[in-house]
Amino acid sequence: DTAVSQTPKYLVTQMGNDKSIKCEQNLGHDTMYWYKQDSKKFLKIMFSYNNKELIINETVPNRFSPKSPDKAHLNLHINSLELGDSAVYFCATRGEGPAQETQYFGPGTRLLVL
């Protein structure tokens, strides 16, 4: 009964390929995020969705396209993968009411582009 789950956990692929990472949450939260953590452990927000609508897009290249089929899912599709896309990608949700300051992170997807 993991609150925020991501698949796959590891993804190794060739440059130029297209890949998707999936995120699912069972917390019933309206707001979901994608973050990228680079090799120096720096964590940066990429996108934010609220109830299936895009709220934040942090100047991420067009090759990255988030898709939210329903409130419980926020997937990340990446076209034409580049070496610099290698990183750990985290999905997160934001609590509501008294817990609205709390973000709940998934376990991460480790992407390696060769």
The contact set with other proteins (CB under 8 A) reads 4, 31, 40-45, 48, 55-56, 90, 92, 94, 100-108
Q: Closer CB to other proteins, residue 72 or residue 88?
A: 88
Minimum CB separation of residue 33 from other proteins in Å reads: 8
CB proximity list for 15: less than 8 A, separation 6 or greater: 81, 82, 83, 113, 114
Minimum CB separation of residue 79 from other proteins in Å reads 25
Q: Tokens for 105, please give them.
A: 């992170």
